[in-house]
Amino acid sequence: MKKFLRIAAGAAALTACGLAGAQSAGTWSARIGATHLSPDVSSGNLSAPSFPNTKVDAKSDTQLTGGLTYMVTDNFALDVPLGLPFKNDLVGDGALAGVGKLGSTKVLAATVFAQYRFNAANAAFRPYVGLGVTYAWFFDEKTTATLNGLSGGTQANPTTAKLDNKFGITPQIGFVYNLNDRWFIDAAYYKSFLKSTIHLSTGQSIKVKFNPDVFAIGIGYRF
Amino acid sequence: MEVIILANQFKLLAAALATAGLLAACGGGGGADTTPKAKVTSVKVMGDSLSDSGTFGFKFTVQGSAPTGAGSTMIWPERIADQYSQSLCAHYRAGDENLTSYQEVASCTNYAVGGGRVNPLGAPATSPLSVLVQIQAASKAGFSADDLVIIDGGANDAADVIGALIAAAKGNSQPLNAMVAWLDSKAPGTSAALMTQAGGDASKFAGLAAGAYLQTLAKALAGSIAQNVVAKGATRVAVLNVPAITKTPRFQMVLASIAQAAGGGDQGAAVAAKQEASFDALVQAFNAQLAASLAGQSQVAVVDFYTEFKNQISNPAQYDFDNVKDPVCPVTGVDGSGLPTYTFPTCTAAALSATPGKTSPDWWQHHVFADSFHPTPYGHQQMSQLVSRALAQKGWL
């Protein structure tokens, strides 16, 4: 964090240096901001043994994020969002509605976007559309006493969970608003079509489409 | 020169972002945090054989490597207690199942007794065979806000009532008369009113009396819970209703003999099905009254064991049961009414796994029934999962 701020401050100090400022071919830019990830869950049923219609839902999370953009041409860009991993709570649904948190998982979603940016390279407002490939790496899954009780786990042998890492396709829309030659605001909405399977140590599994709605905003600097 | 400086800045920023992500990714290795939502420092249990941790030195299911304590089969309330890092032991200890004499172990908080009833007709008023007596004893010892209280009761009472109806239909109305007399002792004139309602029809009267008896017991159980548990400071009370006992092998055998007596075949099956429905309606009457009488108390969670048990029987694969009919324990005798009896102390996991002629030593693991009336250890696990759901929905687990 501190390093971020120091570098951002350092970058700000450089704004006076007048280079060709537009989003033209060959320019790099970096941004820092926040991303809200809100899963739009469509859950399968937990395999037997289970209560009929046992489903899960996932809660949203917001994290400090940033990203790097490289302008391949004046209009085509490659964009890589970077940031802290999201931590999403998994809660009961269907037959388990109301039981609360069953566990949580962290997810680091690595995405590479190909973007088309409208308007001229030096325009103040440049909307864009993008299409990305996402690799979701689920890790640090933690289960709760609730899941333990619901799955026949004991203190001595608690039930644990593991999610499959998966690729997904991520369409995107957004815009860049250039505050000046160097600084800009970047806002985007994207949806990752991402499904995974949760495996319990008690043998059951459940297929889940997470399909998160993602809202990202950042302030960026062009080099 | 400027370009070089910028490139360095850029690399630093990129490295910082990437490092932040990677470092965060390295924290922790997953696992389980088994701390429950609610702080529960003691689990107190009242009930019947389903909940008995070893009053008579064994549990009413397949025995583990020990009959009680370490190595013994974890029955459902023990599985619940385990979630709160608590263990259970039998509060009452007795050598014979009538509890003609017994000891109390003050440090053990499982008051449930095999054969426990809301109203053990014929037992002394202070017998721990009464779930109400168990509740009073636990209440006397005291409840606190950090207790989890779990209570089951009524299944044996419902079985008594069904048995009394069958006996009455065969000409022995003594058991039913005892229930009617008890009703009259609680509310004088009850039987006369029911007889009027039945229009003098003896069989109709029997059905009405059976329903009234069970509803009165449900009210008594709920009343005792409100008065002796909730009003005494317990804030988390889970109450199981009565399972669909007509689906147990014991009652399926009784119904089969009813079908046989009615001429067998389709005609006999129809008679048995009608009887099963009327017996089941009595169980439902108890459960409906229990739910109604316990309603509106935020401290009480009613667990619908009735419905879940029926689901398990009708949809066994969903619960990974592979046999819903056959008790796993060997028959060791015959009771007065010609039904098989079983001996739990000798029905051990090791003995079952060593049964000759079975394809796998685990053949018995996923049956529903240990004997003709009680669940296997896996059945107990399923019960604990059902209760866990109710506790979690209350925010207690």
The residue range of the domain holding B65 is 42-156+217-248+286-393
The pTM assigned to this predicted structure is 0.91
Question: What secondary structure letter does DSSP report for B330?
Answer: P
Please state, in angstroms and rounded to a whole number, the distance separating the CA atoms of residues A22 and B9.
Answer: 19
Query: Of all residues in chain A, what percent carry a pLDDT higher than 70?
Result: 90
Query: Which chain A positions have a beta carbon within 8 Å of B85's beta carbon?
Result: 155
Inter-chain contact B384–A152, Cβ cutoff 8 Å?
yes
Please state, in angstroms and rounded to a whole number, the distance separating the CA atoms of residues B230 and B278.
Answer: 34
Share of chain B residues as helix, strand and coil, in percent rounded to the nearest 5: 50, 10, 40
Inter-chain contact A144–B16, Cβ cutoff 8 Å?
no
Query: Topology of domain A2-14+25-222, per CATH?
Result: Porin (2.40.160)
Contact present, A54 and A206 (Cβ < 8 Å): yes
Please state, in angstroms and rounded to a whole number, the distance separating the CA atoms of residues B343 and B262.
Answer: 32
Please state, in angstroms and rounded to a whole number, the distance separating the CA atoms of residues B62 and A36.
Answer: 52
Question: Could you tell me the residue ranges of all domains in chain A?
Answer: 2-14+25-222
Number of domains in chain B: 1
Here the tokens at position A108 are 């680091």
Going residue by residue through chain B, which has 397 residues, state the pLDDT in tens, using 9 for 90 and above: 444 444 555 454 444 444 444 444 444 456 999 999 999 999 999 999 999 999 999 999 999 999 999 999 999 999 999 999 999 999 999 998 889 999 999 999 999 999 999 999 999 999 999 999 999 999 999 999 999 999 999 999 999 999 999 999 999 999 999 999 999 999 999 999 999 999 999 999 999 999 999 999 999 999 999 999 999 999 999 999 999 999 999 999 999 999 999 999 999 999 999 999 999 999 999 999 999 999 999 999 999 999 999 999 999 999 999 999 999 999 999 998 899 999 999 999 999 999 999 999 999 999 999 999 999 999 999 999 999 999 999 999 9
Please state, in angstroms and rounded to a whole number, the distance separating the CA atoms of residues B233 and B140.
Answer: 12
Helices and strands: H and E segment counts in chain A: 2, 14
ipTM for this model: 0.89
B368 domain residue, yes or no = yes
Helices and strands: H and E segment counts in chain B: 12, 9
Helix (H) or strand (E) holding B202: helix B202-225
Query: Which chain A positions have a beta carbon within 8 Å of B73's beta carbon?
Result: none
DSSP-assigned states of every residue in A17-74: S----SS-TT-EEEEEEEEEEE---EE-PPPSSS-TTEEEEE--EEEEEEEEEEESSS
Share of chain A residues as helix, strand and coil, in percent rounded to the nearest 5: 10, 60, 30
Could you tell me the CATH number of the domain that includes residue B54? 3.40.50.1110
> Nearest by CB to A142, which of B2, B31, B83?
B31
Interface of A with B in 121-160 (CB under 8 A): 137, 139-155, 158-160
The answer to whether residue A27 neighbours chain B at the CB level (below 8 Å) is: no
Query: Which chain A positions have a beta carbon within 8 Å of B24's beta carbon?
Result: 84-85, 106, 108
Q: What is the per-residue pLDDT for B3?
A: 43
Q: 């937990």: which residue's tokens?
A: A46
CA-based end-to-end distance of chain A: 21
> Closest-CA residue in chain B for A48?
B318
Contact present, B365 and B381 (Cβ < 8 Å): no
